[in-house]
Structure 1
Amino acid sequence: MDVDEAMFSVVADARVLVHGKYAGTIRYVPDRRTALVGVELDRACGDNDGIDEGGRRLFQCKPLHGLFVREEQLGFRRLVYSNAWNLLDNTQEQLNLMRSEKFKAAEHTIAQLTKGRSLSRTVSDAEVAGITVEADYRGPHVHWPLELSNVLAVLDSFKTSQVLHHKYVLELLNAGVRALAPLPTLQEITVAEGEKLTVIGDLHGQLQDLFSIFSINGLPSPTNKYLFNGDFVDRGLYGTEVVMTLLLFRLLDPTSVYLNRGNHESRNQNSWMGFEDEVWGKYSGAEDGDLERPARLFERFQALFEVLPLCAVLQSKIFVVHGGLFSRDNVTLAHLRGIARKREPPLHQLGFEDKIFEDMLWSDPRAIQTRQPSERGAGVEFGVNVTNNFCLVNKIALIIRSHECVPEGFEILHGGRLITLFSASRYCGTQMNKGAFLTLGPELQPEIQQFYAHALNESSFTTAAPPEQAQLQGVLEEDTLRMIAERICDHKPSLFWYFTQHDDEHDGTVSRLVWAEALRSVLQLELPFLTYQPKLAALVDENSTRINYSQFLARYRIENDAVD
């Protein structure tokens, strides 16, 4: 049972899935780990009523609702929902890419109609200098040249959710563009004696994780360097503050902080996954009539994202990239150095440069040999042979990448040659994953530290108490079901057609098995739909195993409060 014992332990009354598909509740826990666990199943698909093969009654349940199984045959519902959430989250990115492609034509038309009136992506230093900080502004101030005390004062204000004035945001963004634009696409980073470098995975606007890492591992300094491996924004509430914090330390000392670009440092993701909404919410400009302010700020963030380097090599031996490797063999570091990066990341292009640019931000490793199409709709899923080829061609010993939420905060694949690193703990407030960061000294021996973030205004580092874990499980289940419901809405005609073709009794109903297979086939999602059936679809009656598919589909509709 490959799970964290602290989170998924075999205890009485725990909800489980037997063989990955039969929902039930643990009723009997043996004294020995090698003995069988007694489970009361929700449906009559067992072989006893709580009496074992020796004739002992170990628990009480209805006939054919009992089953004795080995511990490794149990799946814990929280883990099942977590895996389902990750799969749905990946397909959500694919949907966003499809939406972005559809909107390209509309954006071009709008640009033509507004020609001559479009908002400039450049805000000059003179324009920024002319912005007045109001007398009643109570947030932090940024003074130039930067000093550590000033940076810490800004961070302290972020702990209480104060919003940095838009003048200072523009100053930092302009300074960041100037500092990062001259950098190479592939950064060469060294770690000298007496120094260490810490690699940070996805943060996704979760400022509490960034501050927790600083509390545990120390602030950036010339001897305590950091490499942030992309996906600073989207999904979390504090994307602007995460970017401002990284820029403050980078501008304070360029040798202390290095930044790689992730797939969420792009317009096509920010427009759908939360960061654009965050900027508009925090900097609406409505209070003083500057209605162009949020759009202007958002454009400057995009200008910053476009100059971020794409990858790094540490001590000529460790390759660090946000997504992963490539859809073709024999890609060299020289190829990566030559990429023209200062643009929106290309998608679905056929050219060599565009494709490896896309792969660096979007690809994922898998326990396979070669390659297969990506569930995300961009990049590629690559196996151990791809990793070995890249390492051999480029004399690389280890690959560090991020891009995926993993339960422990890190995952080691491909014979130890590849590490996934994810630093946003309790991701999106729905997952129960740990965060992790990786530290290296001059000898390049990686040390991984796991953590759970504390609240922004706290300094303790305790893990969640059981009531909070239960609350998170409820949120995770609710979010998973919501994402499934969205896909049902998108595919109602196809689902109805499938049901009518399998309505063997011609009475408007299908069996639970047919219903689950319909969702798997039409939605193209390999999820345990029978587990979700009680929450998604009602049975005809309590003694039935059939679902009225018209009533099921009628439950799911897209609502628009602006339309009567």
Structure 2
Amino acid sequence: MGCSHSVHNETKKSEKAMKAAVLIQNWYRCYKARLELRRRQALNIFENIEYADEQDQMQLAKFFAFMLEHYVKNKSSADNLPKIFNPEPKRKSDEETIISLIEVPDTYYGPRLKFPLTFADVVLLIDAFKENQILHARYVLEVLLEAKKILQQMPNIIHISSTVSKELTICGDIHGKLDDLFLIFYKNGLPSGNNRYVFNGDFVDRGQNSMEVLMVLFSFLLVYPNDVYLNRGNHEDYLMNMRYGFTKEIMQKYKQHGAKILHLLEEVYTWLPIGTLIDKKVLVIHGGIADNTDLTVLEQMKRNRIITVFSASNYYEEGSNRGAYLKLSHDTTPRFFQYQSSQITQAKTLHERVDIVENAAFRILGERMIIRKTNLIQAFRKYDPNDTGKISLSDWAKATEEVLELHLPWMSLCPRLVKTIEDGYVLYNMGFKDLPVVRAPKVAKAGMVETLVRYRSDLKIIFNIIDKDQSGLISMDEFRAMWKLFCSHYNIDIEESHVDQLAHSMDLNKDGSIDFNEFLTAFDVVHRATNKL
């Protein structure tokens, strides 16, 4: 009897333990699912804002075409345009002569490259970059020049065949993430005659080591021109680099020779192939659909087999996403490999990582809303004819989408973006209290403030191009002329007198020039708290 009772008790204990384990497991799965939902929602915010920014970039490109059309009508104005608009013809020998005149001082302890490059040279380069060394400007220019010579011999679409003996690895966007590139090489091996790679564009911008990424990729191209393939992405572009950081990185690392590097780099970009075709079956290409795309070809595609590969981990924020690359075997069957490069991320809990990503996403979204505040209030009032100060949640969502055009689930985001919701109604006049604010000079008019903050990135690009000597100073006449064209193209209605008044207030020493970087810094978006909206 005693033995039977003991066994019965043990069985009941085991059943309780099993039930407890199942409950804990179910709770943890739900907990992880909720965190994953929040992470994906944050990524959705990032992705939609990034897409909208790239549409703005297209608008900026149209503005430059507009500026050329109007600005060059005057011959004297045309002569003063930066080289991007008025390039001078150069003889082929000029580049090599200029590079040869750049001396590498004895005090330089970084890698010294000899051409033609060898595999050992590239390994030396990689080791130097791991130690945070900066390659001398002369070698940067030599790598770019040699890469251009090879790229000029290539067709628009590179045709390659897969074989049993040679594996093929396809990498997506790297975006200046040198740690990710090195992690790929660590996991997958360095490029070689038997370890071929296709890098599908967007090598630069956003990350802090775009130059180093570019030098490694171009160096491998020089050593293995038949086994390393580089496609052009939308960030291999002068204007994109001005907007998203690579130009700034170059000027900071190579102050004296930065302009030379930028000029040669712009030429190299134009010679990058558009895509790579593998066994006439798999097309690796970075871009999207052009105006002249054959729609009948798209109709015949097996869309369930179109694959997107993105190789920059922690792209938006630490812990926001993993990177990936894929390998193709001789039968073109893809195998996928994921990774995440970050010691910081590994030290944080899953909840902490999601909090970081989510808070960053809502900060960016908050900035987007505050610079369109006037337009949002006007849109909200259309749904509030009696001026009650409140509208339904669904109307708030519709009005917000009408203004911001971000295609986000506004109804679910609303509680994080507005302060007060009562009985399904949003008190929209109070909805901006927890959002960031814009710091601006007292002389700036309200409409001008929002305009300058909204177009801040575009204006910075435009005036950096005008500022040919990168002094940070531009004349009042240049300021007025470019502002007039900008307002004309973007249909911005701001009185010139207001702009003049603001510009003169920024010209503190009254020398007829304004420090445009300070001018734009005066219109920063300021967050009240860093951990929440």
Q: Return the TM-score normalized by structure 2.
A: 0.69
Q: Given that residues 193 and 224 in structure 2 are in contact (C-alpha distance below 8 angstroms), is that contact kept between their aligned partners in structure 1?
A: yes
Which residue number corresponds to residue 547 of structure 1? 427
1:87 aligns with 2:48: yes
Q: Distance in 1 between matches of 2:346 and 2:196?
A: 33
What is residue 422 of structure 1 aligned with on the other side? 310
Pick aligned residue for 1:31 from 23, 38, 42: 23
CA–CA separation in structure 2 for the residues paired with 1:430 and 1:35: 26
Aligned counterpart, 2:463: none
- Tell me by how many angstroms 1:162 deviates: 1.9
Q: CA offsets per residue over residues 189-214 of structure 1, 9 Å max, x none?
A: 12334211111111111111111111
1:78 counterpart residue number: 39
Query: Is the aligned partner of 1:183 residue 2:182?
Result: no
Provide the residue aligned with 1:140 in structure 2. 111
CA contact 1:234–1:273 (8 Å) conserved in 2: yes
Question: What are the superposed Cα offsets for residues 407-437 of structure 1, whole Å, 9 maximum, x if unpaired?
Answer: xxxxxxx33x222111112223355322211
Aligned equivalents of 2:258, 2:30: Cα separation in 1: 58
More strand by share: 1
Contact 2:377 2:428 in 1 (8 A): no
Q: Whole-Å Cα distance in 1 between the matches of residues 29 and 126 of structure 2?
A: 50
Could you say what secondary structure the match of 2:50 adopts?
Answer: helix
Residue of structure 2 aligned with 1:528, choices 392, 404, 409: 409
* Aligned residue in 1 for 2:337: 449
What is the distance in 1 between the residues matched to 2:149 and 2:230? 14
CA contact (8 A) 1:212 1:454 kept: no
* Gapped regions of structure 2 (runs ≥ 5): 1-19, 441-517, 524-533
Higher helix residue share: 2
Answer yes or no: is 1:488 the counterpart of 2:369. yes
AA in 1 matched with 2:329: G
Kept in 2, the 8 Å contact 1:504–1:510? The answer is no
- The alignment of Structure 1 onto Structure 2 pairs a total of residues equal to 415
The answer (yes or no) to whether the contact 1:510–1:549 under 8 Å persists in 2 is no
C-alpha separation in 2, matches of 1:217 and 1:230: 19
CA distance in 2, matches of 1:87, 1:306: 28
Would the alpha carbon gap of residues 37 and 507 (structure 1) be closer, same or farther in structure 2, given more than 3 Å must change? farther
Task: Return closer, same or farther for 1:472/1:170 CA change in 2, 3 Å cut-off.
Answer: farther
- 1:340: which partner in 2? none
Q: Distance in 2 between matches of 1:126 and 1:36?
A: 66
Q: What secondary structure sits across from 2:308 in the alignment?
A: strand
Q: Deviations over 1:476-510 (max 9, x none)?
A: 22332233234324433331222222236634344
- The answer to whether structure 1 residue 259 and structure 2 residue 244 are counterparts is no
Cα pair 2:237 2:266 within 8 Å, conserved: yes
1:250 matched to 2:236 = no
User: CA separation of 1:97/1:30 partners in 2, compared to 1, >3 Å: closer, same or farther?
Assistant: farther
On the 8 A contact 1:421/1:437 being kept in 2, the answer is yes
Asked if 1 retains the 8 angstrom alpha-carbon contact of 2:205 and 2:235, the reply is: yes
CA pair 497-135 structure 1, distance change in 2 beyond 3 A: same
Q: Tell me which of 475, 478, 483 is aligned to 2:359.
A: 478
What does the per-residue CA deviation read over 1:316-370, in whole Å, with 9 as the maximum and x for residues that have no partner?
A: 222211134x46xxxxxxxxxxxxxxxxxxxxxx6x3xx67xxxxxxxxxxxxxx
Rounded Cα–Cα distance in structure 2 between residues aligned with 1:82 and 1:319: 27
Q: Quote the offset at 1:109 in angstroms.
A: 5.9
- Secondary structure of 2:368's counterpart equals helix
Instruction: State the Cα distance separating 1:471 from its structure 2 match.
Output: 4.6
Cα distance change, pair 33–513 in 1 and its aligned pair in 2 (3 A): farther
Answer yes or no: is the 8 Å Cα contact 1:30–1:36 preserved in 2: no
Q: Output the CA distance in 1 between the equivalents of 2:141 and 2:204.
A: 17
Counterpart amino acid of 1:157?
A
Once the two structures are TM-superposed, the CA of residue 548 in structure 1 deviates from its matched residue by: 4.4
1:467 equivalent in alignment to 2:459 = no
* Structure 1 unmatched ranges of 5 or more: 1-27, 40-70, 286-292, 328-349, 357-370, 372-384, 392-413, 456-462
Match of 2:67 among 102, 106, 109: 106
Within 2, Cα distance between the matches of 1:388 and 1:248? 39
1:389 aligned residue: 300
User: Which secondary structure state, in structure 1, belongs to the residue aligned with residue 403 of structure 2?
Assistant: helix
1:112-148: CA deviation from partner (whole Å, max 9, x where unpaired):
6252785468661111011011232232221223122
Q: Determine which structure has greater relative contact order: mean sequence separation of CA pairs < 8 Å that are 6+ residues apart, divided by chain length.
A: 2
Question: Following the alignment from structure 1 to structure 2, what is the Cα–Cα distance between the partners of residues 164 and 423?
Answer: 24
What is the CA distance between 1:165 and its match in structure 2? Answer: 1.2
* Aligned-partner SS, 2:145: helix
Q: In the alignment, is the contact (CA less than 8 A) between 1:192 and 1:442 conserved in 2?
A: yes
Q: In structure 1, what is the equivalent of residue 419 of structure 2?
A: 538
Offset, 1:269: 2.0
State the Cα deviation string for residues 358-395 of structure 1 (Å, max 9, x = none): xxxxxxxxxxxxx8xxxxxxxxxxxxx8646257xxxx
Aligned to 2:123: 152
Larger-gyration structure (1/2): 2
Aligned residue among 424, 434, 446 for 2:322: 434
Letter paired with 1:446: P
**Paired residue secondary structure (2:233):** coil
2:255 to 276, 284, 291: 284
Please give the TM-score of this superposition, normalised by the length of structure 1.
0.65
Relative to structure 1, is the Cα distance of residues 73 and 388 closer, same or farther in structure 2, using a 3 angstrom cutoff?
farther
Change (3 A) 1:216 1:38: closer
2:196 is aligned with 1:225: yes
Instruction: Say if 1:126 and 1:217 are closer, same or farther in 2 by CA, change over 3 A.
Output: same
Tell me, yes or no, if the aligned pair for 1:260 and 1:312 is still in contact at 8 Å. Answer: yes
Distance in 1 separating the partners of 2:358 and 2:373: 22
Q: Offset at 1:248? A: 0.6
Contact 1:422 1:437 in 2 (8 A): yes
CA distance in 2, matches of 1:35, 1:167: 59
Tell me the CA shift for residue 511 of structure 1: 4.6
Separation (CA, whole Å) in 1 of partners of 2:220 and 2:231: 15
Answer yes or no: is the 8 Å Cα contact 1:82–1:431 preserved in 2. Answer: no
- Give the CA deviation at 1:29: 10
Q: CA separation in 2, counterparts of 1:31 and 1:485?
A: 38
- Matched to 2:279, the amino acid is Q
Verify the 8 A CA contact 2:143 2:219 in the aligned structure 1: yes
Q: Give the aligned CA root-mean-square deviation in angstroms.
A: 3.5
The residue number in structure 2 matching 1:97 is 58
1:452-477 residue CA offsets vs partner (Å, 9 max, x unmatched): 2256xxxxxxx943616445433322
Contact 2:393–2:411 (CA under 8 A) maintained in structure 1 = yes
The question of whether the paired residues in 2 share the 8 Å contact of 1:230 and 1:260 is answered with yes
Q: CA 1:554–1:496 in 2, change beyond 3 Å: closer, same or farther?
A: farther
Contact 1:205–1:239 at 8 Å: present in 2 too? yes
Aligned to 2:384: 503
- Taking the aligned partners of 2:345 and 2:371, their CA distance within structure 1 comes to 36
- Structure 1 stretches (4+) deviating beyond 4 angstroms? 32-39, 71-75, 107-112, 116-123, 385-388, 468-471, 542-545, 553-558
Amino acid at match of 1:31: L
Return closer, same or farther for 1:117/1:466 CA change in 2, 3 Å cut-off.
closer
User: Does the aligned pair in 2 maintain the 1:429–1:472 contact within 8 Å?
Assistant: no
Partner letter of residue 434 of structure 1?
R
Task: Quote the residue 2:459 is aligned against.
Answer: none
